[in-house]
Amino acid sequence: MKEDHGNYRPLSYFQLMELSLRELLVEKGIVTNEQVDATVEDMRNRTPERGAKVVARAWVDAGFKQRLLENGTKACEELGLDVPALKLLAVENTPQVHNAIVCTLCSCYPRMLLGIPPEWYKSRNYRSRMVREPRAVLAEFGLQIPQTTQIRVHDSTADMRYIVLPMRPAGTEGWSEERLAALVNRDSMIGVAVPKGPND
Amino acid sequence: MSEAKFKPGARVKVMKAYPLGHVRTPYYIRGCTGTVERICGAFPNPEELAQMRDGLPKLPLYRVRFRQKEVWPDYRGNEDDVLEVEIFQHWLEPA
């Protein structure tokens, strides 16, 4: 690694605490540095592209979509995505129903498919208002849901994890899975946005 | 594992209780009445897990659907807007 002397900053309180705790755990033989590195690597590899792959497959394969809605965890295994221990529930957006996800108690999030949650997802503002006035919150994200569409807010309070299966954008007939996956952004799988259109 | 007492479609009321400790039933939904949307399976009791105990026997976990208008009387939006919350069986009673 290239040495960089220009960017030195003292460790923050939490960085120092993490470092001390890790050193102690290694010293006591509870974990090894290699295990810590492998776990960090694994967490870094989890990005919203994984979720986008699942959504794109559901858009092109009706059988897969059916299996995904019935048992999200099992369907993800078909794509080689391991969703350990927790059960994944995919909730489908239709012209009549719009789904959105929140965890009012903490920040439960489908990390295995979307990676690390964005800051706003963990904020008190989002967590407290999303269950109380979802239409106003979605409007702040730039998403206007028609009054005639039902909104279903899912509070992720216990052992389930949720992913929104957004509607496939019009004008994408015949597109490949890869091309479709590129339209699926993280926020559309949380339900605070819709996927990009073919011309966006 | 304890047996599931409620079937999908059953009307249930969330207990209005305020025990100390780690509880996964949000305050705002206590005392509200909703409909069982599905049985999610059975999971160790989080209130016990938080005390470093095994949380067994596993408890049935439900996804309960509530009408927003019933949770928040001044709710503004579609009459049919709903909120779905996961609730463990020992927090539910028949409604």
Largest CA distance in chain B: 43
Indicate the residue of A148, A152, A160 with minimum beta-carbon distance to B86. A160
| Residue A44: per-residue pLDDT | 85
pLDDT score at A4: 59
Bridge partners (DSSP) listed for residue B83: A153, B66
Residue ranges, chain A, pLDDT below 50? 1
A159 to B77: CB separation less than 8 angstroms, yes or no: no
Whether chain B has a CB inside 8 Å of the CB on A74: the answer is no
3-state secondary structure at position B26: coil
- In this structure, how many other beta carbons lie within 10 angstroms of the beta carbon of residue A25? 15
Q: What is the ipTM of this complex?
A: 0.95
Q: Return the CATH superfamily for domain A48-190.
A: Nitrile hydratase alpha /Thiocyanate hydrolase gamma (3.90.330.10)
pLDDT of residue A1: 46
pLDDT digits (tens, 9 = 90+) for B37-56: 999 999 999 999 999 999 99
CB A184 within 8 A of CB A120: no
Q: Hey, which residues of A are catalytic here?
A: 103, 106-108
Give the pLDDT score at A112: 87
Residue A71 exposed, middle or buried by CB count within 10 Å (0-12, 13-18, 19+): middle
> H or E element: which one contains A112?
helix A111-114
From A87, A132, A147, residue closest to B40, measured CB to CB? A87
Residues of B in contact with A87 (CB under 8 A): 40-41
Domain definitions of chain A by residue range: 13-45, 48-190
For residue B40, what is the nearest residue in chain A, using CA coordinates? Answer: A160
Low-confidence ranges of chain B (pLDDT < 70): 1
pLDDT at A82: 78
- Residues of chain B in contact with residue A157, where contact means CB-CB under 8 angstroms, are 24-26, 85-87
Give domain B11-94's CATH number out of 2.60.120.10, 3.10.20.30, 3.30.870.10, 2.30.30.50: 2.30.30.50
- Give contacts of A 146-185 with B, CB under 8 A: 147-160
Hey, of B39, B58, B85, B92, which one would you mutate to test binding to chain A, going by the most A CBs within 10 A of its CB? B85
- Contact A87/B76, CB-based, under 8 Å? no
